[in-house]
A and B are shown apart, each in its own frame.
Chain A
Amino acid sequence: MTGGVEAVLFWGLGAVAVAAGIAVFRTDSMARATYALAASFVAVGAQVLFLHLDYVGVVVVLMMVMEMAVMAVYMVMFMGMNPALMPMSMVHSRRTSLGIALGAFLVLGGGALLVPWPSRRGAPALDLTASLGEAVMGSKMLVMLVVSPVLFSTIVAALVLALPRGRYDRLGDDLRRRPADDPQPGGAGR
């Protein structure tokens, strides 16, 4: 692919990503907002692929498509309305938010254009995914050793939060109530 075509494609994907991101907060239905966010993520994933990060790009696309599917289920579960038909506009501090967002864009975009970026140091490996795998299993293993308990804690914390009735509901604050206060009695010895 020549540099010109690549640049046009990259800018096109960027425009799609930003436009879809704006559509998330402009559209009148939660379902459309979810699909717009998925489109934005897929466009960014494709841009990441342009930057030769094959593994991360594919992971971002797959993860986000699945997450949007979960999010669509949440809309149906919690929004209490037909998520495809109900118009909505639930915002607060709209003008302040727009001002802050515009200011952030000007500062970040201005910084990106004005900072004298250094030239590239080092050369990419021939097989980037293989070099990532070697780093993760070798010199950067500590990073993954930290990330894995964080992810495990997240699973535990999310389950504890989402649990409808915990042991304190069943056994009282001192955990001594017998038999347990269950909505449906049953189990061994009860």
Chain B
Amino acid sequence: MTFRYGAGHVLVFTHLPLMLKSLLSRFVLALAVALGVATLVFLLMHLTPGDPVEAMLGESASGADRAALRTALGLDAPLPAQWWRFVSGLATGDLGRSIGAQQTVATLIAERLPNTVVLALAALAIAITLALPLGLLSALRLGGVWDRATSVFAVLGMSLPSFVLGPLLMMVFAVWLGWLPVSGSERAIGLVLPAVTLGLALAAPLSRMVRAAVAEVLNEEFICAAYARGLSAQQVLWRHALRNAALPVLTIIGMQLGALLGGAVVTEMVFGWAGLGQLTLEAIQRRDYPLVQGCVLVVSLGYVGVNLLTDAVYGLVDPRVARR
């Protein structure tokens, strides 16, 4: 490691082997969690009361039809065998076949996933542009005007679910002002309202956490030391405070991205955005169990993946992490 002040901080990758090792162990752990998640989804779908075959065919179906569907779905095999088929299928990307639509679950999900990812990324961008400055300004002067404004914004944002904020925004900007389309995912402009709705919901907790993270770093001794060396407030802020606050902020963003994928379900419904959330709901309404299972699994695994990615970036930003 080298430290240089004045010409900027130079990142030296002496910690690379250590980092790879810690990353590998994290990867193995994430894999174990992913297997647990898959098992849990499987169990939820198979152990919940109610017979999926009966739900799909209705009570009037004949015994032969039921038996045929049962065999087609593989429901006649013992539970451990079904579990093994499900998990080994997963490893090859096979999520089974949808019941209503005559397609594989993977195809259906692949069609809708890009829409959800676009929505989530747009919302994340909005949330970060709002939350970073707000959190920073309030941390710089705790109890000040910005701090109070941010705290009001955060509490309000966390108390306004997307199915309240969404319709309200829709009423103002689509119905009254007519600036934006009410719903739909065909045109890019249709992205604005759902992204803002989701982004605001995310910005609220994010601004609060950025504030806490920066405030904590500003209390550290090395900040005091930096001032003592005669650095200006600007230099201390950019070079010391923000760099160190980046770590917790990054984790929070990673964690929120997972929550975002889940929150997108409701937002997509409000705005008729043809993403994974809407697909999940359609699958639930059609009682298409393999599709429900696939949707929940893909989002959950995405969540696990994002957390792993956060950890990886973490190690890059801060060499100390790998050494722990």
Q: Do A and B come from one complex?
A: no
